[in-house]
Amino acid sequence: MAKRVVAQVRVASKKAPHKKGSLAKPTTNPAAKPNAPRSDLNAPVEVAMNTMTAPVREIAWKLDRLIRHCAGKRDLVSQVKWGNACYVVGGTDLFSIAGNKAYASLYVGNGAALLGPFTRVLEGNGTLMRHVKCRTLGDARREDVRSVIEASIALARVSGKTAWTKGPVSKSNSASATNAVTKKKAAKTARVSVKHDAKRT
């Protein structure tokens, strides 16, 4: 019995013959360096704007001014992220402007949660992200584009969930944001009407 056990141990201890090329190649290169952060990260938005063609850059700057006007200086932080001009409103990553060959795109982080007729200008099918394509300065000046920005900011102030900060957005919050924009438009229309009446008298 003892001899059998010793024999089995000896057989098991023998190494299997080495076959050429049988060793698996390493899946990673130990000498490879990790991806370095982009050199333009957190740079002023001008850095991203200057990479666009002149016609597209003009449209992008119009969208930039519109965002700044609607958000207000106190709540807004603008900087380059992912190579694009990005805008943080009230601590929430909300907008991004990217240049293409023939148009500028305004990305809205909570665009899918917005309600109202003005949302027909939005494109895309992401969970929360939507975008507006502006091919001319006239597109960037559309009232629907302004309304999308205003509603997006209003919604972000009651629910900070966007495509960059994952999470659901309730319909009640979306409705309240839409109502805020509708009331603002009604007040603006009333002021214009009063001015016209005053001129007539």
- Least reliable range by pLDDT among 61-65, 83-87, 168-172: 168-172
Residue 54: inside a domain: yes
pLDDT, residue 199, reads 56
Which residue segment(s) compose the domain that 84 sits in?
Answer: 45-174
Q: Please provide the average confidence, as pLDDT, over all residues in the chain.
A: 77
Other residues' Cβ atoms within 10 Å of the Cβ of residue 86? 23
Residue 71: inside a domain: yes
- Pick the residue with more confidence: 159 or 123? 123
Is the per-residue pLDDT at 96 higher than 90? yes
Residue 4: inside a domain: no
pTM: 0.66
| Average pLDDT score over residue span 146-165 | 85
Q: What is the CATH number of the domain that holds 129?
A: 3.90.1150.200
Cβ-contact 163, 126 below 8 angstroms = yes
Q: pLDDT tens digits for 27-79?
A: 555 555 556 567 778 899 999 999 999 999 999 999 999 999 999 988 899 99
pLDDT, residue 158, reads 85
Q: Which residues pair with 98 in a beta bridge?
A: 105
Residue 118: inside a domain: yes
Is the per-residue pLDDT at 127 higher than 80? yes
Contacts 24+ apart (CB under 8 A), 47-54: 47/80, 48/80, 48/83, 48/84, 48/85, 48/97, 48/99, 49/85, 49/97, 49/99, 51/83, 51/99, 52/99, 52/104, 53/99, 53/101
Residue 15: inside a domain: no
Q: SS3 letters for the chain?
A: CHHHHHHHHHHHHCCCCCCCCCCCCCCCCCCCCCCCCCCCCCCCHHHHHCCCCHHHHHHHHHHHHHHHHHHCCCCEEEEEECCEEEEEECCEEEEEEEECCCCEEEEECCHHHCCCHHHHHCECCCCCCEEEEECCHHHHCCHHHHHHHHHHHHHHHHCCCECCECCCCCHHHHHHHHHHHHHHHHHHHHHHHHHHHHHHC
pLDDT, residue 10, reads 53
Residue 33: inside a domain: no
pLDDT, residue 189, reads 39
pLDDT, residue 141, reads 96
pLDDT, residue 30, reads 52
Nearest 5 degrees, angle CA 116-CA 118-CA 123? 105
Tokens representing 169 are 């957005």
| Average pLDDT score over residue span 98-112 | 95
Is the per-residue pLDDT at 191 higher than 50? no
pLDDT, residue 28, reads 55
Q: How many distinct structural domains can be found in the chain?
A: 1
Residue 147: inside a domain: yes
- Pick the residue with more confidence: 12 or 122? 122
